[in-house]
Structure 1
Amino acid sequence: MDLCGRPGLAQRTDDGGLRKLDLNLLPVFAALMRERSVTRAGEVLFLSQPATSSALGRLRAFFGDELFVRNGRVLEPTPRAQALMDQLAPAMQAVAGAIAGSIPFDPATDTRTFRIGMSEDIQMAMIPVLPRLRKAAPRCRIIIRAATYRTIPRMLDSREINMAVGHVEDLPAAAKQRVLRRCGWRVLRDAESPGPVDLDSYCARPHMLVTPRGDLSGIADEELAKLGRSRQIVLGVPDFGLMPRTLIGTDLLCLVSEAVVDAVAALGGMEGLAADPPPFACPEAVTYMAWRTAVDQDPGEAWLRAQLIHHLARR
């Protein structure tokens, strides 16, 4: 401030810089820092590659620096770009949170798009829930993305999704989480096959494993190894949808969480199947809900979280 109480030269200069910069370029800059690729940054922001390249050109012109230099197929940030990101990230996070909290939400009339990452068992559990959400928010769009504990942190950090439901690990710093459900495990089998299974029969009979990655080892193998026992997995399937009908008419066993049993039952898939408690101790299966801190106060996102908690959390 000068002696007359007017803004000083430094403040006027800073304001002038902000007026000259198109603030829409900042999300592009942040996406380029995360993705290290013009194409992937554009996909995250739903921009074409030419539009993303144009935005990068404008950023370079404004800051007077290359910002990103190509290293093979990867764009490496310059020291100037890294310094900018260190300064801008907290401010962008604060602005996003302030804006989100000021946007009203009426599920009956709002037209926003919700993006949720979900593990496959949660996707199954969502099938009967989706019509209820559609009825409550008829003009909103809900996009469900397949996500695992390996991909959820990256998808939240890149803003591909605002929320995730499933097993989560190593969340980004700018994320929050809560436990949605804790449950045990059940051994599924054809109801006509012998059961309930004891430890000896569990180890002797063949097993099916739901294994999206194609490996043949699961939580049961870890617990059995502690007891000096093992099982024989003879069939791996990529998703839970194949599991119920595949068990019918066989002596196969399949260890799944109670959440999966509930999801299959809600879809009428438990007919002809029996669910026994496992004959050995297993740690709890924990389902988490995680979301970006930037949308923590967003009324729409808070409404959706409350809906999922109501419909999916075990009472």
Structure 2
Amino acid sequence: MKDATLRKLDLNLLHVFSVLMEEKSVSRAAERLYIGQPGLSSALRRLREALDDELFVRVGRGLEPTPRALAIAPEIAGALSTIERAVRPPQAFDPATWRGEFRVGMCDNFEMAFLGVLTARIRELAPHARVVAVASTKRDSVALLERGAYDFSVAVHEEPASWHIRDALFDQRFVCLYDPKQLKLTLPLSIEQYVKAQHVIVSSEGNDTTSIDAFLDGAGIRRSVVAGVSRHTAVAPVLQSVPAIATVPETIAHCMARLHGLEVCLPPLDLPMEPISVLYRRTDQMDGRSIWFRRLFADVVAQALKTSGCRPSTPAAAA
């Protein structure tokens, strides 16, 4: 019954009704509605047909509402007010007053490289908020995003589904990391030194080879792996204990070098770079809070890479 009634009624006519109730004049109502008097008279005729009532009766130069019009006027005014509030553009996001949590999915090397600076910026710009890093990798980043574990993921992402958006962040280079107290190298590092050295690899799955080994195999190079760790932050203690090289992302290499007295050098061949991107839900594309957080993160990454001495080939993009 409700659908049948609404099908007969153009909801724009309710606005006409409300203005007529306020003005009690066709000419003044038409002026407010930016339509001609003939157009308003046509709208009033359609209203009368839809509601089966005269609604407004001409008395002198003005209009007098009928009992039916008087009865429904408060309900229509309330409904229009509710609709107006619902479709009103949202207020601009104000980080200074917002209270809540920003969540970002990332692996441990990005957490080590970026989270400190990100936290400091959020404390400065959004003092009532906090930031939380959620452990994720390129294998589970999409599943965690769809479960709502975080606002966006930072990883190597494949071509996204239509309901996700992927924004390029930077191309991550690989460098070599070692402890000069344990391993004496002549720089620049030669392929002979690289092959002869012992190696520490990082594999969260416990594999004995990585994507780097696949590339090296293609170049006819085999390296001797003496240890494998599950996270990048565990590389430094191993390098401090054995004479070995770890080939790791440049973002974390400089952090560990500063913290643990290690040395960073370029590998003896051009290793493939990893395209790091931000992945987020399409439903968050125009959300003010999400836009602000993504832009802040991109700015933090660009600044952190510049400060650390990394050489990103793609500038951090503001989403």
- TM-score range, shorter-chain basis? 0.5 to 0.7
Partner of 1:140: 129
Partner Cα separation in structure 2 for residue 158 and residue 10 of structure 1: 41
Q: Residue 206 of structure 1 corresponds to which residue in structure 2?
A: 198
Aligned to 2:115: 127
Q: CA deviation at 1:212?
A: 1.3
Query: Pairwise mapping of residues 77-88 of structure 1 onto structure 2 (< 5 A)?
Result: none
* One of 91, 101, 110 as aligned partner of 1:113: 101
Contact 2:254 2:264 in 1 (8 A): no
Moved over 6 A (4+): 9-12, 98-101
Aligned residue for 1:261?
253
Kept after mapping to 1: 8 A contact 2:203/2:231? yes
1:154 equivalent in structure 2: 143
Partner of 1:283: 272
Q: TM-score, normalised by structure 1?
A: 0.64
User: Where do 1:47-196 residues align within 5 Å?
Assistant: 102-129=90-117, 130-192=119-181, 193-195=183-185, 196=187
Paired amino acid for 1:236: G
The answer to which of 229-238 and 123-132 deviates more is 123-132
**Residue 99 (structure 1) shift:** 8.5
Aligned residue number for residue 304 of structure 1: 293
Relative distance call for 1:150 and 1:103 in structure 2 (3 A) is farther
* In structure 2, C-alpha distance between the alignment counterparts of 1:307 and 1:155, rounded to whole Å: 22
Aligned partner of 1:83 in structure 2 is none
Q: Give the structure 2 partner of residue 235 of structure 1.
A: 227
Query: Cα gap change, 1:169/1:194 in structure 2, threshold over 3 Å: closer, same or farther?
Result: same
CA distance in structure 1 between the partners assigned to 2:233 and 2:216 by the alignment: 26
For normalisation by structure 2, the TM-score amounts to 0.63
Partner of residue 250 from structure 1, selected from 231, 235, 242: 242
Task: Give the counterpart letter for 1:125 in structure 2.
Answer: A
Other structure's SS at 2:149 match: coil
Deviation at residue 170 of structure 1 after TM alignment = 4.3
- Which amino acid counterpart does residue 162 of structure 2 have in structure 1? A
Q: Which residue of 2 aligns with 1:7?
A: 6
Q: Which amino acid aligns with 2:253?
A: V
Identical aligned residues as a percent: 23
Answer yes or no: is the 8 Å Cα contact 2:177–2:248 preserved in 1.
yes
Cα gap change, 1:101/1:261 in structure 2, threshold over 3 Å: closer, same or farther? farther
Q: Give aligned pairs, total.
A: 223
- Partner of 1:150, secondary structure, is coil
Residues 299/99 of structure 1: CA separation in 2 closer, same or farther (3 Å cut): farther
1:89 is matched with which residue? Answer: none
**RMSD of equivalent CA atoms:** 2.7
Which amino acid counterpart does residue 184 of structure 2 have in structure 1? P
Unaligned runs of 5+ in 2: 12-85, 307-319
**How far apart, in 1, do the equivalents of 2:274 and 2:90 lie?**
37
What is the Cα deviation at residue 229 of structure 1?
2.0
Of structures 1 and 2, the larger Rg is shown by 2
> Is the 8 Å Cα contact of residues 109 and 233 (structure 2) preserved in structure 1?
no
CA distance in 2, matches of 1:99, 1:127: 37
Matched residue SS, 1:128: helix
The CA distance in 2 between the partners of 1:143 and 1:103, in whole Å, is: 25
* Distance 1:7-1:311 versus aligned 2 partners, 3 A rule: same
Q: What 5-or-longer segments of structure 1 have no aligned partner?
A: 13-97
Matched-pair contact (CA < 8 Å) for 2:200–2:225: yes
Supply the AA of the counterpart residue of 2:226. V
| C-alpha separation in 2, matches of 1:150 and 1:311 | 25
Which structure 2 residues correspond to residues 17-32 of structure 1 after superposition, within 5 A? Answer: none
